[in-house]
């Protein structure tokens, strides 16, 4: 299979390296495409030499030319979220299948364009939801589909981003809702996809609240950061800011972004307290599902720890899963827990709770990435997937619809009926 990648920022490297190393012989990288010539060259230089002239590179305006000349079987899309639909649609109409980073897209207009093009062309769209492949999350699916806790009636799901990871969404292009859909689309698409997959159902009604409580000018003033710049690199008070990012000190970030600024003007270290940020940092969502289950979901982007807590309420008992990824975040310092970082408890009615041995793996995202990449690039060499972890354009659509409806609810103050929202926009799933 021949692959081309559009978008050569940080996220594309996992796919590039898998194609050119792990799955060499099964997959071939034939083209790289980006708007930024510096990052494009940097990526091409990271491709192992195979003789000849190396991998072909194209500027973004020559995307169609890349497909015509290199004839990839599939295009991997890792551009900013608001541009996903452009390349997904263009690739399908030129006869290619597509793999795309999450979220598949950011709003209903873009979603309709993708769905219409997929129906028109019949091409395959895969959304790379690696969280489904994390052994511990797969184990949850295994327990739930076994019927161990009976009918799943309700789910409580909290996701905590610390002040290192969480802050990063407020200094990049993600900070503008028109570009990322906000955290309820960009980040929570992972979480809502997990719930859809775990429950085997989709949301019908969504209501939400959200606000920017921490990453705001008032908080910076309270921290004594008056006179700050619009970016860390030139900020006169950066030395006093616990959330500063020093691009000069990180070799990879310097090469990928600071050294590339003259090519497109993109600044990777914008101030997280800027007044023009349009996304929320604290959100609470309630959703009702087609199968009768209920979801309570919260996301905090400035927590003193990073990880997740999930509780499934069933007619026979409860299943509780917690993962502490990072704790003790002070002044940018992150400490990873040593013991009991991930726990799963099964508590059946009338019995004492018991701890389950958590499934583990090695590699990125808790062992998820190697498994997902195996199914993406060498499915015939993998075991049959008993859990239905691959994700299509339909899964990609449903994963963002909870967040899109939640954004609408935050704006209107009302409950959103998902079916009515889809009908209003001519979308049929």
Rounded Cα–Cα distance for residues 180 and 6 (Å):
18
Tokens representing 82?
A: 């608001």
Tell how strand 152-162 and strand 305-314 pair up: antiparallel
Q: Mean pLDDT across the stretch 409-415?
A: 98
CATH 3.30.470.10 fits 2-127, yes or no: no
Mean pLDDT for 301-317 is: 96
Supply the pLDDT for residue 328. Answer: 61
pLDDT digits (tens, 9 = 90+) for 90-136: 999 999 999 999 999 999 999 999 999 999 999 999 999 999 999 99
Q: What is the mean pLDDT of residues 295-321?
A: 97
Residues 27-49 have pLDDT tens digits of 999 999 999 999 999 999 999 98
- Yes or no: say if 186 and 84 are a contact pair by the CB < 8 Å rule: no
Q: Residue 338: what pLDDT?
A: 63
Q: Are 393 and 117 in contact (CB under 8 A)?
A: no
CA distance 138 to 141: 5
Please name the residues in contact with 178: beta carbons below 8 A apart, sequence gap of 6 or more.
Answer: 82, 278
pLDDT value of position 279? 98
Residues 228-235, mean pLDDT to the nearest whole number: 97
Distances (CA, A) of 292 to 153, 246, 420: 7, 48, 18
Average pLDDT of the chain, as a whole number: 95
Tens digit of pLDDT for each residue in 278-290? 999 999 999 999 9
**Percent of the residues in the chain that have a pLDDT greater than 90, as a whole number:** 94
Supply the pLDDT for residue 336: 74
Name the percent of the chain lying above pLDDT 70: 97
Return the domain boundaries, the chain.
Answer: 2-127, 131-214+277-362+389-424, 217-264
CA distance 202 to 183: 20
Residue range 131-214+277-362+389-424 forms a domain whose CATH class is alpha beta
pLDDT of the residue at 329? 56
Give the contacts of 152 (CB within 8 A, at least 6 positions apart): 144, 198, 199, 293, 312, 313, 314
**pLDDT surpasses 90 at 255:** yes
For residue 333, the model assigns a pLDDT of: 64
Q: Fold identical between 2-127 and 131-214+277-362+389-424? A: no
Does position 335 have pLDDT exceeding 90, yes or no? no
Statement: residue 53 has pLDDT above 80: no
Report the pLDDT averaged over residues 141-161: 98
Residue 20 pLDDT > 70: yes
Per-residue pLDDT of 179-204, as tens digits, reads 999 999 999 999 999 999 999 999 99
pLDDT tens digit sequence for 258-285: 999 999 999 999 999 999 999 999 999 9
**How far separated are the first and last CA of the chain, in Å rounded?**
29
Does the pLDDT at position 384 exceed 90?
Answer: yes
């Amino acid at each position: 299979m021949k692959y081309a990648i559009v978008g050569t920022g940080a996220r594309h490297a996992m796919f590039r390296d898998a194609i050119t190393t792990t799955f060499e012989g099964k997959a071939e990288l034939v083209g790289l495409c980006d708007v930024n010539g510096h990052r494009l060259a940097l990526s091409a230089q990271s491709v192992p030499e195979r003789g000849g002239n190396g991998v072909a590179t194209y500027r973004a305006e020559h995307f169609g030319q890349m497909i015509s000349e290199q004839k990839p079987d599939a295009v991997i899309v890792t551009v900013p979220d608001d541009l996903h639909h452009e390349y997904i649609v263009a690739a399908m109409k030129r006869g290619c299948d597509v793999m795309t980073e999450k979220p598949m897209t950011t709003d209903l207009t873009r979603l309709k364009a993708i769905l219409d093009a997929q129906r028109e062309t019949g091409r395959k769209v895969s959304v790379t939801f690696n969280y489904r492949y994390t052994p511990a999350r797969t184990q949850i699916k295994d327990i739930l589909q076994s019927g161990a806790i009976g009918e799943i009636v309700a789910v409580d799901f909290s996701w905590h981003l610390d002040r290192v990871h969480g802050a990063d969404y407020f200094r990049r292009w993600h900070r503008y809702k028109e570009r990322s859909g906000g955290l309820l689309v960009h980040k929570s698409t992972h979480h809502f996809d997990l719930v859809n997959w775990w429950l085997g159902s989709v949301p019908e009604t969504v209501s939400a609240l959200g606000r920017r409580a921490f990453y705001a000018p008032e908080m910076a003033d309270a921290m004594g950061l008056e006179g700050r710049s619009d970016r860390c690199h030139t900020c006169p008070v950066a030395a006093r800011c616990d959330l500063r990012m020093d691009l000069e000190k990180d070799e990879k970030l310097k090469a990928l972004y600071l050294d590339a600024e003259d090519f497109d003007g993109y600044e990777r270290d914008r101030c997280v307290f800027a007044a023009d940020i349009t996304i929320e940092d604290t959100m609470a969502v309630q959703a009702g599902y087609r199968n009768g289950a209920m979801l309570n979901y919260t996301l905090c982007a400035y927590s003193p720890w990073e990880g997740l807590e999930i509780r499934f309420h069933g007619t026979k008992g409860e299943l509780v899963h917690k993962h502490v990824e990072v704790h003790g975040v002070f002044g940018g310092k992150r400490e990873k827990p040593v013991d009991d970082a991930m726990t799963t408890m099964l508590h059946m009615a009338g019995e004492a709770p018991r701890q389950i041995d958590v499934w583990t793996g090695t590699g990125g995202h808790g062992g998820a990435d190697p498994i997902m990449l195996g199914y993406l690039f060498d499915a015939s060499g993998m075991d049959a997937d008993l859990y239905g972890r691959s994700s299509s354009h339909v899964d990609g659509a449903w994963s963002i619809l909870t967040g899109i409806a939640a954004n609408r609810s935050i704006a209107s103050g009302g409950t959103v009926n998902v079916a009515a929202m889809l009908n209003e926009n001519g979308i049929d799933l």
